[in-house]
Amino acid sequence: MTLHATIDRVTDRIRERSLKTRDAYLQKIARAAEDGPRRAHLSCGNQAHAYAAMDDKDVMATTKKPNIGIVTAYNDMLSAHQPFERYPDIIRRAGHAAGATVQVAGGVPAMCDGVTQGRPGMELSLFSRDVIALAAGVALSHDCFDSSVYLGVCDKIVPGLVMAAATFGHIPAVFIPAGPMPSGLPNDEKSRVRQQFAAGEVGREELMAAEMASYHSAGTCTFYGTANSNQMLMEFMGLHLPGSSFVNPGTPLREALTVAGVERAAAITNLGNEYLPAGQVMDEKAFVNGIVGLMATGGSTNLVMHIPAMAKAAGILLDIEDFHDISESVPLMARVYPNGLADVNHFHAAGGLGYMIGQLLETGLLHPDVKTINGTGLDGYTAEPKLEGDRIRWDHGARQTLNDRILRPAADPFARTGGLKQLNGNLGRGVIKVSAVAENRRVIRAKARVFSDQEQVKTAFRAGEFTEDTVVVVRFQGPRANGMPELHSLTPILAVLQDRGLKVALVTDGRMSGASGKVPAAIHISPEASVGGPLARVQDGDIVTLDAVTGTLDCEAGDFDSRSPASFDPGPSSEGLGRELFAPFRAVAGPATEGAGVVV
């Protein structure tokens, strides 16, 4: 199948834009690889320190077996990461069986946005991505590893680990997931109870029961938010094994896939004949394939920030116009909550990523000629893993959707486009996700109500102040202001107003997660208000138009350009719960449209 013209054009544009930075990056990792296996260049004293606690230290000191370094985001507070507790033992056994040695190189922090939503801790969330990249860099700095295995799932964890894997791009990298928890209370029922609680129709006891029935066991949350979008991305980019993203924890298939991942990590080192540096897997085509997957699945808007940061670590420069243009050409093939009623387990059972990749390859919407940890070519990712004893074999995956209410062919999609639009206007530049927004709500023209944080919005809601169509502007929420927290806790409130018949929209320089749902939200607006961006000049009562059809975002006030911007008070976000430690990050963070990076 001939490559789709838009995919070809956008890839060429990215390649041309990134010519100097990508070339410099490839030269850097080539120089790092020239010396061959890393341990050989350590002194005897260095090596003795590195191997002292290992049972097989004599093997390490006297042979050239590959040494695999594990970078783990394990903690037992996050349901998605709790299964990783057992993974190092599994990986050691599998590594030894494959003729390798294995060490846990280091751990990285992993925080849960579901715990910190609407709380001060959420202001550390985005920056935790860069901390994870730094921590993984420290782990790998011992320079003892011929290959690497990354254990991470959730929102900022995978992007941070990818940034580190790209920075150490001369080392092969295999990403191994833990899988989603089994299905619990349906997501639409959970959302209904949340809205009832926001409206005062049910109490906290009913709300707590619904939440506990939804988030109920080890594994990733089952809605299609950022965590599961990350897993999709790793498969589309060839950093997971085929079909491994959405297999439940604690199952024989899950463990066998982990073993198979370790075998690949051992096979692709510089000591063998299949050397595959991570930096060669992460090329322009791989990132374009990842963006295609994001649009076809209706994935999280957070990745519109994370993917540019990941790509930049590999010397590739992305822009939100790349996301927009790809979205305009890629059909929405999946309806997974919040874009539908199904969860990721239902999506996986309906044919999942293997079926989707096959369809997108057949229609020319993916680059087939890419390097992956599974070998050359993306066509291997149409296969489905099956157990044969305790081993994995890959069979032909689904060639027809098994549930067209959840997953549809590219020729007969749920929507012609991926549902992500870039926005431009006198309020700045940002994005909106419309795949779950009804068509009659994609253009909102109304008076603005301006707030400086989400608590002010909640207070106004409780006071009954929203009685007409409103564009809710929440500013001073960008990376330089307070770390750019998600404003997901506003979703139930805005949904209640919408259900009352009002036309409402959110405009913010902050973030909304992949769970943002049916309320139109113009997000990631740059330049952000705290550095004098246009949102700082909006006033209560201004007429604001959010048009997701034409991609415009404007304030109609005649004196708008001549107004002095509102001043930003950093005090509320400057201390408490570790926020004081992140002042240097807030001072240098890049704009959201470029990934809001600190270390890249």
In the chain, the domains with their CATH numbers are 5-182+217-396 (no CATH), 420-594 (3.50.30.80)
Cα–Cα dist 69/266, whole Å: 11
Q: Which residue has the tokens 């941070």?
A: 160
Cα–Cα dist 494/519, whole Å: 7
User: Dihedral of CA 370/372/377/382: which sign?
Assistant: negative
DSSP string over 500-542: TT--EEEEESSB--TT-TTS-EEEEEES-GGGT-GGGG--TT-
Cα–Cα dist 406/493, whole Å: 27
- SS3 sequence of 153-172: CCCCHHHHHHHHHHHCCCCC
Q: Where are the alpha helices (DSSP H) in 246-318?
A: 252-267, 278-281, 284-297, 303-313
Q: Which residues of the chain have pLDDT under 70?
A: 36-38, 513-517
Cα–Cα dist 427/59, whole Å: 62
Asked if 501 and 441 count as a contact pair (C-beta separation under 8 A), the reply is no
Cα–Cα dist 418/176, whole Å: 27
Q: What per-residue confidence (pLDDT) applies to 516?
A: 56
* H or E element in which residue 355 lies: helix 352-362
- Pick left, alpha or beta for residue 464 (phi over 0 → left; psi -120 to 50 → alpha; otherwise beta): left
Cα–Cα dist 515/506, whole Å: 14
DSSP string over 379-415: GGGGEEEEEETTEEEEEE--SS-S-TTTB--TTS-SB
Structure tokens at 232: 């999709």
Q: What per-residue confidence (pLDDT) applies to 517?
A: 67
Backbone angles phi, psi at 46, to 5 degrees: -55, -50
Backbone angles phi, psi at 98, to 5 degrees: -90, 5
Rounded to 10 degrees, the C-alpha dihedral 85/87/90/92 comes to: -100
Tell whether residue 154 is among the known ligand binding residues: yes
Q: Report CA-CA distances (Å) from 316 to 11, 12, 283, 311.
A: 11, 12, 8, 5
AA letter at 259: V
Give the three-state DSSP class for 340: coil
Within 10 Å of residue 395's Cβ, how many Cβ atoms? 11
Q: What per-residue confidence (pLDDT) applies to 215?
A: 85
Tell whether residue 221 is among the known ligand binding residues: yes
pLDDT tens-place string over residues 145-193: 999 999 999 999 999 999 999 999 999 999 999 999 998 888 778 888 8
Q: What per-residue confidence (pLDDT) applies to 117?
A: 83
* H or E element in which residue 148 lies: strand 147-151
Q: What per-residue confidence (pLDDT) applies to 436?
A: 80
Burial of 272 (0-12, 13-18, 19+ CB in 10 A): middle
Cα–Cα dist 143/265, whole Å: 16
Within 10 Å of residue 578's Cβ, how many Cβ atoms? 11
